[in-house]
């Protein structure tokens, strides 16, 4: 829970990634390729957001370490 309070953006990004993936796969299965393609692009954006949030968290954590 401490990590969640430190950086809530990582779980938000991970949840958005999973939601876009599941929705995209559902639309692929139903034959709606246009919607599936859009959701897969949203998944990539959500993954990028999550990676940036993780890197930001590492950077901020490293800059707080006393030297």
The predicted-structure confidence for 13-42, as pLDDT tens digits, reads as follows: 999 999 999 999 999 999 999 999 999 999
pTM of the model: 0.82
Cβ-Cβ contacts under 8 Å for 20 (sequence gap 6 or more) = 39, 40, 42, 43, 46
Give ∠ CA 19-24-25 in degrees, rounded to 5: 105
For all residues of the chain together, what is the average pLDDT? Answer: 90
- CA dist 47 and 5 (Å) reads 20
- CA dist 30 and 49 (Å) reads 28
Asked if the model's pLDDT at residue 5 lies above 80, the reply is no
- CA dist 32 and 53 (Å) reads 31
């Amino acid at each position: 829970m401490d990590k969640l309070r430190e950086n809530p953006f990582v779980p938000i990004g991970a949840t958005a990634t999973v939601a876009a993936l599941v929705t995209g796969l559902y639309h692929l299965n139903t034959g709606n390729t246009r919607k599936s393609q859009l959701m897969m692009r949203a998944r990539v954006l959500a993954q990028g957001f999550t990676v940036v949030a993780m890197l930001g968290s590492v950077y901020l954590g490293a800059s707080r370490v006393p030297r």
